[in-house]
Structure 1
Amino acid sequence: MITGEIKNKIDRIWDVFWEGGLSNPLTVVEQLTYLLFIKGLDELQSTKEATASMLDLPVDAPVYSDDQRELRWSAFKELEAQQMFSLFTRVDDSNPGIFQFIKNLHGDNDSAFSRYMTDALFQVQSPKMLQRVVEMLDEIPMQDRDTKGDIYEYLLSKIATSGTLGQFRTPRHIIDLMVDLMRPTPQDTIIDPASGSCGFLVSANNYLRNNHKEIFTDGALNHHFNNEMFYGHDMDSTMLRIGAMNMMLHGVENPNIDRRDSLGEENKDENSYSLILANPPFKGALDFEACSKSLLAMCKTKKTELLFLALMIRSLKLGGRCAVIVPDGVLFGSSKAHKQIREQLVEKQNLEGVISMPSGVFKPYAGVSTAILLFTKTDEGGTDKVWFYDMKNDGFSLDDKRAPIEGSDLPDIIKSFHERNNGQDGQSRTAQSFFVPKEEIIENGYDLSINRYKEIVYEEVQYDEPEIILDRIDSLEKDIVAGVSELREMVKNK
């Protein structure tokens, strides 16, 4: 998380965009993403050149040719405002400007980047504004991948409006929690079917970099990591562009980010992925005609939150794992479709855990109560008992400010989940985490809400006798009367 001087600099850059007439937060993030990406390309080229020089070899897969020197950040940042702006906006197939260059970066390759840059627009209208932003970005040290990622996550946090179908940004610490619970491996094939800015995929990428260094030394694993591991689907072209660049800025060369209606008939994914991480939209309803028939066969409903669960079950390979955020209504809803999807999870899959989250986790975007479902696809059952955890503190206040506070439950959640089979069977239902046997869940109509099973201990409060309380009131009243009289005397003698 960025703080202090760097955060203040990013805020000042944001203000420059607003002063220049770009008031849509998503547009500002998109334009800043282009500039960060251009700066990153120059840094990548410099690294390649340094390596080639050290080994006395030609530059491997250079980003820029020798005659494209003027398009590099280190070159154009020195230009005066109008020259810089003209270079950015020049459209010439034989001699492209900076923005045309990045739009065509992958040429005719069918990469996520080339697909979603096709209709990208450079919306910085003023040469002076462009020069100011370039100068301010140049002052921020971004060579370190973590710093660059933190800056980008901070920019995304400024997208504070939710979409029409209930999409909103998942807090980074909740994303990291879910990734730590799932522990991705170098062999995994990971998807977020409602990927947005690709926060879950970026977090999984960071986890693998920190915990599985073999992805850098093993050629097959490295190829899988850069080309075949990460998948994301979304319907919004702007978010697809931001997501693809977010992945590339975090070191994934060719992520599979596609424009796709995950719930539509066009999506044929079945037994395809070993890990799903997602916070799908859960607001509104879909037209039956637009929805995949195979999903409706599993769960006949218009509710997106239930259909996404059906999609995840269908999309996982046998043995595949899933961590998904759902609204509380999924856990206890009484409709046939609600019960149908919960029965599917309990009876045909291995439902491992339910983490109840406080309603303030998604503020200021929404105050909805949510939970995290953790399950493994088996198609043959396997649920003997379900682990429940009552999250009370996620490390931030539960108001709109979401200020950091002490006492986060997240480290304990991770520890308790991975050690859940080591002596937690007999844990009291009054504890923060406990098991509920499958039979009890069935008896309760497959209800998965923690309040159905958690026991609350009520402390008996001892009150004084009424006569004693009345005597105290009399004494207080006399004190008040005496005080008023004293004040009157003070006023008279003034």
Structure 2
Amino acid sequence: MITGEIKNKVDHIWTTLWTEGLTNPLSAIEQLTYLLFIKGLDEMETTKEQEAEFLGLEHESIFPKDKQYLRWHQFKQLGSPEEMYRVVSQEVFPFIKGLQGKEESAFSTYMKDAMFQIQKPSTLAKVVDSLDNIPMSDRDTQGDLYEYLLSKLSTSGTNGQFRTPRHIINMMVELMKPTPEDKIIDPAMGSAGFLVEASEYLRNKHSDLFLVQGLKDHFHNNMFFGNDMDITMLRIGAMNMMLHGVDNPNISYRDSLSEENKDKELYTLILANPPFKGSLDYEAVSNDLLTVTKTKKTELLFLSLFLRILKPGGRAAIIVPDGVLFGSSNAHKAIRKEIIDNNKLEAIISMPSGVFKPYAGVSTAIMIFTKTGAGGTDNVWFYDMQADGYSLDDKRIEIKDNDIPDIIERFENLEAEKERKRTEQSFFVPVSEILENDYDLSINKYKEIVYERVTYEEPTVILAKIKQLEDDIQKGINNLEEILK
């Protein structure tokens, strides 16, 4: 989430692009992402050079020796806007499109049709100057900027096309604890925030994986998978993954719910916030998904997909709208029954409705389950999240109240949760009780609220106090009149 000075800079850049001809909002987002990628490449390269120098090692630069002028810190100092424009449009942009050099790589596939659409040298100079002061060292800055820019679109959120806040992604990754052997997918990847955060977690918690050639190759080539139907998002996701050190993520232009997607029992971990605004025609949906739950609702179809593509023993942490938890239609009940009866539902974390503001005010929850194909649900852990560290209005200002550290701590020590009462913020519910309640998974169905008895004064006493107040007011008015005479 970006605020303050950076937010003002982005607003200024947005206005510059808009007033000088780039009036398509999504095109503006894409052009800004290219420039941020170019800037991030240079900063990443500078960091690697400094590390190599400190360790006394040779460093093989992605910028050839005779092409150092293509780096951000070099071309930004060119004498005229016209010269900068020539270098960026005719040399830097083609250079980034050709990175990796493999025709079959995700990056080269989705970058080959990319177009540099800033038309005026003066516009480019203004944007470069403004972006130059935005720090790129923080993780997933491109995603944060995209999240903010998307809020400017009149269609923001209507297609489910808003980014999951990074602190929520981070919490879900911390809960699932990816391992170096995992095969991770987000079938509705957007800007690849979940995949990026999973890669960062592995770098921080399992850095030794890069010392084992097999695990290192797996990390770069066979660990991360993502699908999306938006070419712009695929480009942003590919750039995001590359900036975070994943050489060859498996990113595909694919409708995950269609017959085109043949994936079955391939992945060990799903991290996702699939779109849940919309419905599809039955003809557009893979038949085997409809056998689990006959519905047109995307949020239910994605749950059916997750069960199909997970390997036995595979885990999923996914965001669902609250309606999935208590919806009374046959389709809603069927998917809940499938997860509870035939797999192992582990946790439901209810999130406040403001988490996705300003894009959407819908209440959501995180569902965590393991695919077993043979049942295993015994006690389901519920947590009632009240705060995520930000105000729950459209402004989303940072605040002190934050349940996320508590959620992670409690989930890591579920044994200690068994004695908690239903009046507390988290508790267990036995599967037998869930079945008795027609597979209802809404936390309010099981949470007990303690009402404190409030004793009020007798009406005659309250009335006497009101009369006394009126007398005091009248005396005050009389005294004021006397003074003014």
TM-score under structure 2 length normalisation: 0.92
Aligned mates of 1:302, 1:66 — CA distance in 2: 55
CA offsets, 1:113-165, max 9 Å, x none? 111112212121210121233234345554x4xx2534652453332142443
Q: Which residue in the other structure is 2:450 paired with?
A: 457
* TM-superposed deviation, 1:459: 0.5
* TM-superposed deviation, 1:51: 8.1
Q: Please give the secondary structure, in 1, of the residue aligned with 2:118.
A: coil
Q: Which residue in the other structure is 2:37 paired with?
A: 37
CA separation of 1:452 and 1:54: change in aligned 2, threshold 3 A: closer
Q: Please give the secondary structure, in 1, of the residue aligned with 2:140.
A: helix
Q: Which residue in the other structure is 2:203 paired with?
A: 209
Contact 2:228–2:255, Cα closer than 8 Å, also in 1 = yes
Comparing 155-164 with 335-344, which one deviates more in the overlay? Answer: 155-164
- The one of 127, 130, 148 aligned to 1:157: 148
Q: Which residue in the other structure is 1:76 paired with?
A: 75
Q: Please give the secondary structure, in 2, of the residue aligned with 1:423.
A: helix
Aligned mates of 1:464, 1:283 — CA distance in 2: 50
Contact 1:29–1:156, Cα closer than 8 Å, also in 2 = no
Contact 1:237–1:259, Cα closer than 8 Å, also in 2 = yes
Q: Which residue in the other structure is 1:233 paired with?
A: 227
Comparing 133-142 with 358-367, which one deviates more in the overlay? Answer: 133-142
- The one of 400, 409, 413 aligned to 1:419: 413
Aligned mates of 2:460, 2:53 — CA distance in 1: 92
- The one of 373, 376, 399 aligned to 2:393: 399
Q: CA RMSD in A?
A: 2.5
Q: Please give the secondary structure, in 2, of the residue aligned with 1:436.
A: strand
Aligned mates of 1:259, 1:299 — CA distance in 2: 25
Q: Which residue in the other structure is 1:341 paired with?
A: 335
Aligned mates of 1:486, 1:259 — CA distance in 2: 81
Comparing 435-444 with 472-481, which one deviates more in the overlay? Answer: 472-481
Q: Which residue in the other structure is 1:365 paired with?
A: 359
Name the amino acid aligned to 1:33.
T
Q: Which residue in the other structure is 2:475 paired with?
A: 482
Name the amino acid aligned to 1:37.
F
Q: Which residue in the other structure is 1:380 paired with?
A: 374
Aligned mates of 1:155, 1:303 — CA distance in 2: 27
Aligned mates of 1:177, 1:104 — CA distance in 2: 35
- The one of 393, 410, 435 aligned to 1:442: 435
Q: Please give the secondary structure, in 2, of the residue aligned with 1:340.
A: helix
* TM-superposed deviation, 1:280: 0.6
Alignment of 1:281-296 (within 5 A): 281-296=275-290
- Unaligned 5+ residue runs, structure 1? 91-96
Q: Which residue in the other structure is 1:20 paired with?
A: 20
CA separation of 1:286 and 1:101: change in aligned 2, threshold 3 A: same
* TM-superposed deviation, 1:252: 1.4
Name the amino acid aligned to 1:157.
Y
* TM-superposed deviation, 1:464: 1.0
Aligned mates of 1:184, 1:107 — CA distance in 2: 30
CA separation of 1:106 and 1:424: change in aligned 2, threshold 3 A: closer
Contact 1:2–1:151, Cα closer than 8 Å, also in 2 = no
Q: Please give the secondary structure, in 1, of the residue aligned with 2:390.
A: coil
* TM-superposed deviation, 1:488: 3.6
Contact 2:326–2:441, Cα closer than 8 Å, also in 1 = yes
Aligned mates of 2:428, 2:9 — CA distance in 1: 48
Identity of aligned residues (%): 60
Q: Please give the secondary structure, in 2, of the residue aligned with 1:254.
A: coil
Name the amino acid aligned to 2:289.
L
Q: Which residue in the other structure is 1:431 paired with?
A: 424
Q: Which residue in the other structure is 1:277 paired with?
A: 271
Contact 2:2–2:148, Cα closer than 8 Å, also in 1 = no
Aligned mates of 1:490, 1:56 — CA distance in 2: 88
- Unaligned 5+ residue runs, structure 2? none
Aligned mates of 2:157, 2:303 — CA distance in 1: 20
Name the amino acid aligned to 1:224.
H
Q: Please give the secondary structure, in 2, of the residue aligned with 1:405.
A: strand
Aligned mates of 1:350, 1:360 — CA distance in 2: 29
Q: Please give the secondary structure, in 1, of the residue aligned with 2:314.
A: strand
* TM-superposed deviation, 1:263: 0.5
* TM-superposed deviation, 1:322: 0.5
Comparing 113-122 with 81-90, which one deviates more in the overlay? Answer: 81-90
Alignment of 1:100-179 (within 5 A): 100-140=94-134, 142=136, 144=137, 147=138, 149-150=140-141, 152-160=143-151, 161=153, 162-179=156-173
CA separation of 1:373 and 1:48: change in aligned 2, threshold 3 A: closer
TM-score under structure 1 length normalisation: 0.91
